[in-house]
């Protein structure tokens, strides 16, 4: 059964917080397949003496910001802002356990989600537009961001799920190191639109354990029209970044309870009128990553924000569109499809095909 946030909080109240909100000591926070304490990548990098230098390298990028393919080259440390409108101080909308993510992230106690404000892509159909487009949230120091991570660990979340992290990556690295020194032991989950520079993804090597990128479009003509970034280079940038992510962390590895510890998980939202290029997407994954890649083909496209201004995407997808996407995934030989996608497929099949 999938636990909703309301169900989770109800359980917390019913038990007085004794079970679901018990404090986790660092050594018992995450266990590997054999039950032994599991260690996040950043802890090993710290022990090897490389973490502090990596934080410095990332922070230097703020001086002529090229964190993402927009390459605005503005000095964010001096208060200038580029396309994403973010300063050098991180803005956070919220941090809380989240139960709507993929099941290996959610587990029993939720994914420790931190929503960052602003975005370097800004799709016209964005479902988080008040946060991503309007930048709603409050500015926090890196120390406060570290405390949020520790809060999420304290209440039992299985990971730190960094939503839209690209434009604040240096703050995230600095905060993670502060939190690590105070006892953070959860894996970082880098939950990105995929609009990344591969050079910046390389800075995350040995720090991030779980990558959760979107691959939204396979044809640059669509993000050129459907994102404020006019990102006709989106498919190329995202594919290069995802190949690098897989090089770093490989296929998904879980603990004995099926909870994600390390690896790549790719999301793809089926769009109306085949705009996402789903057939090309599944073939690309099978040929360039691995047929064993964890893939979530998502059915929840809805007309949000300014999508109604674009007739090809001004409607929901049909069950037939989702079914053909899942059929293509099967035909491409993908063997690790998200369980909720498979359940959705089975419901539509029963309804349409009897």
Q: How far is the CB of 229 from ligand SF4 (least distance, A)?
A: 8
Nearer to ligand SF4, 105 or 140 (CB): 140
On the CB side of 319, CA atoms within 13 Å amount to 11
Q: How far is the CB of 119 from ligand SF4 (least distance, A)?
A: 9
- State which H helix or E strand residue 205 sits in: none
SS3 59: helix
Task: Report the alpha-carbon distance of residue 116 to residue 271 in Å, rounded.
Answer: 25
Dig out the tokens for 36 from the structure: 């032994």
Nearest-CA neighbor of 137 among 117, 109, 120?
Answer: 117
* 193 touches 204 (CB < 8 A): no
Residue with the shortest CB distance to ligand SF4: 82
Nearer to ligand SF4, 86 or 226 (CB): 86
Q: How far is the CB of 347 from ligand SF4 (least distance, A)?
A: 40
Q: Are strands 336-337 and 294-298 parallel, antiparallel or unpaired?
A: parallel
Nearer to ligand SF4, 72 or 148 (CB): 72
Dig out the tokens for 20 from the structure: 């679901």
Nearer to ligand SF4, 129 or 301 (CB): 129
Q: How far is the CB of 139 from ligand SF4 (least distance, A)?
A: 16
Task: Report the alpha-carbon distance of residue 321 to residue 269 in Å, rounded.
Answer: 11
Q: How far is the CB of 162 from ligand SF4 (least distance, A)?
A: 14
Nearer to ligand SF4, 67 or 124 (CB): 67
Q: How far is the CB of 209 from ligand SF4 (least distance, A)?
A: 23
Residue ranges that bind ligand SF4, judged by CB under 6 A: 65-68, 70-72, 74, 82-84, 86, 120, 167
Task: Report the alpha-carbon distance of residue 271 to residue 316 in Å, rounded.
Answer: 8
Nearer to ligand SF4, 67 or 266 (CB): 67
Q: How far is the CB of 62 from ligand SF4 (least distance, A)?
A: 8
Helix, strand, coil shares, percent, the chain, to 5: 40, 15, 40
Nearer to ligand SF4, 153 or 171 (CB): 171
Task: Report the alpha-carbon distance of residue 245 to residue 277 in Å, rounded.
Answer: 21
* 40 touches 159 (CB < 8 A): no
Dig out the tokens for 170 from the structure: 């240096």
Task: Report the alpha-carbon distance of residue 79 to residue 65 in Å, rounded.
Answer: 12
């Amino acid at each position: 059964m999938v636990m909703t946030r309301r169900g989770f909080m109800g359980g917390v109240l019913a038990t007085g917080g004794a079970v679901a909100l018990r404090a986790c000591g660092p050594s018992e926070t995450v266990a590997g397949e054999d039950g032994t304490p599991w260690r996040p990548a950043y802890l090993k990098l710290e022990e090897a003496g490389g973490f502090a230098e990596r934080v410095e390298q990332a922070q230097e990028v703020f001086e002529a910001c090229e964190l993402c393919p927009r390459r605005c080259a503005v000095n964010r440390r001096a208060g200038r802002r580029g396309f994403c409108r973010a300063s050098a101080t991180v803005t956070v909308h919220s941090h809380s356990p989240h139960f709507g993510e993929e099941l290996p992230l959610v587990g029993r106690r939720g994914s420790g989600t931190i929503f960052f404000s602003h975005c370097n892509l800004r799709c016209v159909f964005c479902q988080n537009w008040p946060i991503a487009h309007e930048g709603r949230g409050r500015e926090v120091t890196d120390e406060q961001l570290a405390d949020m991570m520790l809060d999420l660990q304290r209440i039992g979340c299985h990971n730190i799920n960094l939503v839209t992290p690209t434009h604040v990556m240096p703050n995230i690295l600095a905060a993670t190191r502060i939190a690590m020194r105070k006892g953070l032991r959860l894996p970082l989950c880098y939950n990105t639109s995929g609009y990344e520079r591969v050079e910046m993804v390389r800075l995350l090597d040995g720090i991030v354990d779980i990558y959760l990128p979107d691959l939204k479009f396979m044809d640059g003509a669509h993000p050129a029209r459907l994102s404020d970034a006019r990102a006709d280079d989106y498919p190329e940038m995202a594919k290069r970044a995802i190949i690098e992510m897989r090089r770093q962390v490989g296929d998904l590895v879980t603990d004995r309870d099926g909870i994600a510890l390390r690896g790549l998980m790719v999301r793809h939202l089926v769009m109306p009128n085949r705009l996402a290029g789903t057939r090309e997407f599944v073939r690309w994954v099978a040929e360039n990553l691995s047929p064993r890649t964890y893939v979530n083909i998502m059915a929840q496209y809805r007309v949000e924000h300014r999508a109604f201004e674009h007739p090809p995407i001004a409607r929901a997808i049909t069950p037939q569109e989702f079914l053909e996407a899942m059929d293509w995934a099967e035909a491409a030989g993908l063997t690790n499809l998200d369980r909720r996608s498979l359940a959705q497929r089975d419901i539509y099949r029963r309804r349409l095909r009897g």
